[in-house]
Amino acid sequence: MAEQEISLPRVNFREAQKKNARRTFILIFLFLILFSAVGGVFGAALAGPKLWYWGLIIAFGLAIIWVFFGWFLGGPMTLAVSHAKRIDEPKTPAERQFFNVVEEISLAAGLPMPKVYVIHDTAMNAFACGRNEKVACITATSGLLEKLTREELQGVVGHEMGHIRNHDIMYTVLLIMLVGVLVLLCDMFLRIVFYSGGGRRSSSGKGGGSGQAIFLIIGIVLAIIAPILARMIFFAVSREREYLADATAVELTRNSRGIASALKKLAGDKEVLEAANRATAHLYIVHPIKKFEKRAASIFSTHPPIKERIARLEAMS
Protein backbone atom coordinates (compact mmCIF):
# COMPACT_ATOMS: atom_id res chain seq x y z
CA MET A 1 0.00 0.00 0.00
CA ALA A 2 1.35 3.40 -0.94
CA GLU A 3 2.25 5.71 1.91
CA GLN A 4 -0.30 8.46 2.43
CA GLU A 5 0.91 11.94 1.54
CA ILE A 6 0.44 14.82 3.99
CA SER A 7 -1.39 17.67 2.33
CA LEU A 8 -1.66 21.04 4.05
CA PRO A 9 -2.92 24.43 2.85
CA ARG A 10 -0.40 27.18 2.25
CA VAL A 11 0.04 29.46 5.24
CA ASN A 12 2.03 32.55 6.13
CA PHE A 13 4.89 31.78 8.53
CA ARG A 14 4.08 34.82 10.71
CA GLU A 15 0.56 33.50 11.20
CA ALA A 16 1.99 30.08 12.06
CA GLN A 17 4.22 31.66 14.73
CA LYS A 18 1.32 33.53 16.35
CA LYS A 19 -0.94 30.47 16.32
CA ASN A 20 1.67 28.21 17.88
CA ALA A 21 2.56 30.83 20.50
CA ARG A 22 -1.10 31.15 21.57
CA ARG A 23 -1.45 27.40 21.89
CA THR A 24 1.71 27.17 23.97
CA PHE A 25 0.58 29.83 26.45
CA ILE A 26 -2.75 28.01 26.85
CA LEU A 27 -0.94 24.75 27.58
CA ILE A 28 1.33 26.40 30.14
CA PHE A 29 -1.74 27.94 31.81
CA LEU A 30 -3.36 24.50 32.02
CA PHE A 31 -0.21 23.13 33.62
CA LEU A 32 -0.26 25.83 36.31
CA ILE A 33 -3.92 25.04 37.05
CA LEU A 34 -3.05 21.37 37.44
CA PHE A 35 -0.11 22.20 39.70
CA SER A 36 -2.29 24.46 41.91
CA ALA A 37 -5.06 21.86 42.14
CA VAL A 38 -2.63 19.15 43.20
CA GLY A 39 -1.07 21.33 45.91
CA GLY A 40 -4.44 22.39 47.30
CA VAL A 41 -5.93 18.88 47.34
CA PHE A 42 -2.84 17.36 48.96
CA GLY A 43 -2.95 20.04 51.65
CA ALA A 44 -6.64 19.41 52.36
CA ALA A 45 -6.09 15.64 52.45
CA LEU A 46 -3.16 15.74 54.88
CA ALA A 47 -3.85 18.82 57.02
CA GLY A 48 -7.62 19.12 56.68
CA PRO A 49 -9.95 21.09 54.35
CA LYS A 50 -9.50 24.32 56.32
CA LEU A 51 -5.72 24.17 55.88
CA TRP A 52 -5.69 23.31 52.16
CA TYR A 53 -3.57 26.36 51.41
CA TRP A 54 -0.57 24.81 53.20
CA GLY A 55 -0.32 22.26 50.43
CA LEU A 56 -0.32 25.05 47.87
CA ILE A 57 2.39 26.96 49.77
CA ILE A 58 4.61 23.87 50.11
CA ALA A 59 4.10 22.93 46.46
CA PHE A 60 5.10 26.33 45.15
CA GLY A 61 7.93 26.60 47.70
CA LEU A 62 9.45 23.36 46.41
CA ALA A 63 8.89 24.52 42.84
CA ILE A 64 10.77 27.78 43.43
CA ILE A 65 13.75 25.95 44.96
CA TRP A 66 13.76 23.29 42.24
CA VAL A 67 13.45 25.77 39.39
CA PHE A 68 16.16 27.98 40.91
CA PHE A 69 18.74 25.20 40.71
CA GLY A 70 17.59 24.10 37.28
CA TRP A 71 17.57 27.69 36.03
CA PHE A 72 21.24 28.26 36.79
CA LEU A 73 22.65 24.74 36.45
CA GLY A 74 20.45 23.22 33.73
CA GLY A 75 22.48 24.53 30.76
CA PRO A 76 25.96 23.57 32.03
CA MET A 77 24.71 20.15 33.14
CA THR A 78 23.11 19.51 29.73
CA LEU A 79 26.34 20.40 27.92
CA ALA A 80 28.37 18.23 30.31
CA VAL A 81 26.25 15.09 29.94
CA SER A 82 26.15 15.61 26.16
CA HIS A 83 29.99 15.71 26.00
CA ALA A 84 29.80 19.02 24.14
CA LYS A 85 33.03 20.93 23.56
CA ARG A 86 33.04 24.70 23.17
CA ILE A 87 34.45 26.24 20.00
CA ASP A 88 36.28 29.51 20.61
CA GLU A 89 38.67 29.15 17.69
CA PRO A 90 37.36 26.87 14.90
CA LYS A 91 39.95 24.28 13.86
CA THR A 92 38.31 22.73 10.79
CA PRO A 93 36.47 24.14 7.75
CA ALA A 94 33.23 22.59 9.04
CA GLU A 95 33.63 24.27 12.43
CA ARG A 96 34.49 27.58 10.76
CA GLN A 97 31.35 27.42 8.63
CA PHE A 98 29.25 26.56 11.70
CA PHE A 99 30.74 29.44 13.65
CA ASN A 100 30.11 31.88 10.79
CA VAL A 101 26.53 30.70 10.25
CA VAL A 102 25.71 31.10 13.96
CA GLU A 103 27.15 34.59 13.83
CA GLU A 104 25.13 35.67 10.77
CA ILE A 105 21.86 34.14 12.00
CA SER A 106 22.26 35.81 15.41
CA LEU A 107 22.64 39.13 13.59
CA ALA A 108 19.49 38.42 11.59
CA ALA A 109 17.64 37.61 14.82
CA GLY A 110 18.98 40.72 16.58
CA LEU A 111 20.43 38.63 19.42
CA PRO A 112 23.86 38.31 21.04
CA MET A 113 25.87 35.54 19.44
CA PRO A 114 25.33 32.31 21.42
CA LYS A 115 28.27 30.22 22.55
CA VAL A 116 29.05 27.52 20.00
CA TYR A 117 29.57 23.87 20.97
CA VAL A 118 30.26 20.66 19.06
CA ILE A 119 29.58 17.04 19.99
CA HIS A 120 32.08 14.80 18.26
CA ASP A 121 29.70 12.15 16.97
CA THR A 122 28.88 10.96 13.46
CA ALA A 123 25.12 11.17 14.11
CA MET A 124 23.33 14.28 12.82
CA ASN A 125 21.61 16.49 15.39
CA ALA A 126 21.64 19.87 17.16
CA PHE A 127 20.10 21.66 20.13
CA ALA A 128 20.01 25.00 21.95
CA CYS A 129 20.15 25.47 25.72
CA GLY A 130 20.63 28.18 28.35
CA ARG A 131 18.15 30.12 30.44
CA ASN A 132 18.07 33.21 28.17
CA GLU A 133 19.67 34.77 25.08
CA LYS A 134 22.57 36.23 27.09
CA VAL A 135 23.88 32.82 28.15
CA ALA A 136 22.47 30.72 25.30
CA CYS A 137 24.41 27.99 23.52
CA ILE A 138 23.93 26.26 20.19
CA THR A 139 25.36 22.78 19.89
CA ALA A 140 25.68 20.57 16.81
CA THR A 141 27.22 17.20 16.19
CA SER A 142 30.29 16.92 13.98
CA GLY A 143 28.29 14.57 11.77
CA LEU A 144 25.72 17.29 11.10
CA LEU A 145 28.42 19.87 10.30
CA GLU A 146 30.08 17.55 7.81
CA LYS A 147 26.96 16.28 6.03
CA LEU A 148 24.82 19.42 5.60
CA THR A 149 25.25 22.11 2.97
CA ARG A 150 25.59 25.71 4.11
CA GLU A 151 21.95 26.38 3.20
CA GLU A 152 20.79 23.40 5.24
CA LEU A 153 23.04 24.39 8.15
CA GLN A 154 21.50 27.87 8.06
CA GLY A 155 18.08 26.25 8.41
CA VAL A 156 19.16 24.19 11.42
CA VAL A 157 20.85 27.14 13.12
CA GLY A 158 17.79 29.27 12.33
CA HIS A 159 15.63 26.66 14.04
CA GLU A 160 17.81 26.66 17.16
CA MET A 161 18.04 30.46 17.12
CA GLY A 162 14.25 30.44 16.97
CA HIS A 163 14.16 28.47 20.21
CA ILE A 164 16.38 31.13 21.78
CA ARG A 165 14.51 34.15 20.38
CA ASN A 166 11.09 32.70 21.20
CA HIS A 167 12.25 31.97 24.77
CA ASP A 168 11.66 28.26 24.27
CA ILE A 169 14.80 27.45 26.23
CA MET A 170 13.36 29.40 29.16
CA TYR A 171 9.96 27.69 28.92
CA THR A 172 11.61 24.28 28.59
CA VAL A 173 13.66 24.77 31.77
CA LEU A 174 10.58 26.04 33.63
CA LEU A 175 8.26 23.27 32.52
CA ILE A 176 10.64 20.35 32.92
CA MET A 177 11.52 21.49 36.45
CA LEU A 178 7.83 21.92 37.35
CA VAL A 179 7.08 18.45 36.00
CA GLY A 180 9.87 17.16 38.22
CA VAL A 181 8.44 18.93 41.28
CA LEU A 182 4.96 17.60 40.55
CA VAL A 183 6.22 14.03 40.28
CA LEU A 184 8.15 14.50 43.54
CA LEU A 185 5.08 15.87 45.34
CA CYS A 186 2.89 13.02 44.15
CA ASP A 187 5.45 10.46 45.25
CA MET A 188 5.80 12.12 48.67
CA PHE A 189 2.02 12.24 49.12
CA LEU A 190 1.56 8.55 48.32
CA ARG A 191 4.40 7.58 50.67
CA ILE A 192 2.86 9.59 53.52
CA VAL A 193 -0.58 8.11 52.92
CA PHE A 194 0.42 4.48 52.54
CA TYR A 195 3.45 4.25 54.84
CA SER A 196 3.10 6.93 57.54
CA GLY A 197 -0.67 7.06 57.82
CA GLY A 198 -0.60 10.84 57.58
CA GLY A 199 -3.72 11.01 55.51
CA ARG A 200 -5.83 9.00 57.97
CA ARG A 201 -5.82 11.64 60.70
CA SER A 202 -9.07 13.54 60.92
CA SER A 203 -9.37 17.28 61.23
CA SER A 204 -10.98 18.83 64.26
CA GLY A 205 -14.36 20.42 63.88
CA LYS A 206 -17.73 19.27 62.58
CA GLY A 207 -17.48 17.41 59.32
CA GLY A 208 -13.72 17.78 59.26
CA GLY A 209 -13.03 14.05 59.26
CA SER A 210 -15.40 13.17 56.44
CA GLY A 211 -14.25 16.15 54.40
CA GLN A 212 -10.63 15.17 54.82
CA ALA A 213 -11.43 11.58 53.81
CA ILE A 214 -12.98 12.83 50.58
CA PHE A 215 -9.92 14.96 49.81
CA LEU A 216 -7.73 11.97 50.65
CA ILE A 217 -9.44 9.87 47.98
CA ILE A 218 -9.24 12.72 45.46
CA GLY A 219 -5.58 13.22 46.39
CA ILE A 220 -4.71 9.57 45.75
CA VAL A 221 -6.38 9.72 42.34
CA LEU A 222 -4.57 12.98 41.50
CA ALA A 223 -1.24 11.58 42.68
CA ILE A 224 -1.62 8.79 40.14
CA ILE A 225 -2.89 10.74 37.13
CA ALA A 226 -1.29 14.19 37.66
CA PRO A 227 2.25 13.14 36.58
CA ILE A 228 0.78 11.60 33.42
CA LEU A 229 -1.23 14.75 32.65
CA ALA A 230 1.81 16.95 33.37
CA ARG A 231 3.96 14.98 30.94
CA MET A 232 1.23 15.16 28.30
CA ILE A 233 1.10 18.96 28.67
CA PHE A 234 4.89 19.22 28.55
CA PHE A 235 5.07 17.06 25.43
CA ALA A 236 2.31 19.10 23.78
CA VAL A 237 4.23 22.33 24.53
CA SER A 238 7.37 20.76 23.08
CA ARG A 239 5.61 19.80 19.84
CA GLU A 240 4.13 23.27 19.40
CA ARG A 241 7.54 24.84 20.03
CA GLU A 242 9.14 22.68 17.35
CA TYR A 243 6.63 23.93 14.79
CA LEU A 244 7.23 27.51 15.96
CA ALA A 245 11.02 27.14 15.71
CA ASP A 246 10.66 25.75 12.18
CA ALA A 247 8.60 28.80 11.23
CA THR A 248 11.17 31.10 12.84
CA ALA A 249 13.96 29.45 10.85
CA VAL A 250 12.08 30.41 7.67
CA GLU A 251 11.72 33.98 8.91
CA LEU A 252 15.40 34.37 9.82
CA THR A 253 16.84 32.73 6.71
CA ARG A 254 14.11 33.90 4.27
CA ASN A 255 14.25 30.38 2.93
CA SER A 256 12.10 27.35 3.70
CA ARG A 257 14.18 25.02 1.51
CA GLY A 258 17.18 24.94 3.86
CA ILE A 259 15.40 23.73 6.99
CA ALA A 260 13.12 21.37 5.01
CA SER A 261 16.08 19.80 3.21
CA ALA A 262 18.00 19.46 6.47
CA LEU A 263 15.06 17.70 8.12
CA LYS A 264 14.90 15.25 5.22
CA LYS A 265 18.56 14.38 5.73
CA LEU A 266 18.07 14.11 9.49
CA ALA A 267 15.10 11.80 8.94
CA GLY A 268 17.26 9.50 6.85
CA ASP A 269 20.20 9.45 9.26
CA LYS A 270 20.67 5.98 10.79
CA GLU A 271 23.54 6.88 13.13
CA VAL A 272 22.89 6.62 16.87
CA LEU A 273 23.81 9.63 18.98
CA GLU A 274 25.57 8.00 21.92
CA ALA A 275 25.56 11.09 24.15
CA ALA A 276 21.77 11.53 24.03
CA ASN A 277 19.47 10.23 26.77
CA ARG A 278 15.83 10.57 27.77
CA ALA A 279 16.55 13.58 29.98
CA THR A 280 18.00 15.62 27.09
CA ALA A 281 16.18 14.09 24.08
CA HIS A 282 13.49 16.79 24.00
CA LEU A 283 16.12 19.48 23.30
CA TYR A 284 17.32 18.14 19.96
CA ILE A 285 16.00 19.33 16.59
CA VAL A 286 14.94 15.74 15.88
CA HIS A 287 14.47 13.04 18.47
CA PRO A 288 17.81 11.23 18.88
CA ILE A 289 16.18 7.89 19.66
CA LYS A 290 15.72 6.34 16.22
CA LYS A 291 12.72 4.17 16.99
CA PHE A 292 10.90 7.32 18.15
CA GLU A 293 9.56 8.17 14.69
CA LYS A 294 7.42 5.04 14.73
CA ARG A 295 5.38 6.51 17.60
CA ALA A 296 5.88 10.22 16.89
CA ALA A 297 2.16 10.92 16.56
CA SER A 298 1.61 9.85 20.18
CA ILE A 299 0.48 12.35 22.82
CA PHE A 300 3.56 11.25 24.78
CA SER A 301 6.02 12.41 22.08
CA THR A 302 8.16 15.54 22.42
CA HIS A 303 8.63 16.00 18.66
CA PRO A 304 6.07 16.06 15.83
CA PRO A 305 6.62 13.59 12.98
CA ILE A 306 9.38 14.89 10.68
CA LYS A 307 7.22 14.33 7.61
CA GLU A 308 4.54 16.62 9.02
CA ARG A 309 7.11 19.29 9.86
CA ILE A 310 8.46 19.15 6.32
CA ALA A 311 4.95 19.35 4.88
CA ARG A 312 4.21 22.46 6.96
CA LEU A 313 7.46 24.08 5.85
CA GLU A 314 6.72 23.40 2.20
CA ALA A 315 3.28 24.95 2.67
CA MET A 316 4.67 28.20 4.13
CA SER A 317 4.89 31.35 2.04
Active site residues: 160
Distance CA 258, CA 279 (A): 28
CB-CB neighbours of 136 under 10 Å: 24
Rama region for 83: left / alpha / beta (φ>0; ψ in -120 to 50; rest):
left
Residues 6+ positions from 284 with CB-CB distance below 8 Å: 125, 126, 127, 273, 276
Is the four-CA dihedral 17, 18, 23, 28 of positive or negative sign?
positive
Distance CA 187, CA 150 (A): 48
Find out whether 273 and 121 touch, Cβ atoms under 8 Å: yes
Find out whether 256 and 150 touch, Cβ atoms under 8 Å: no
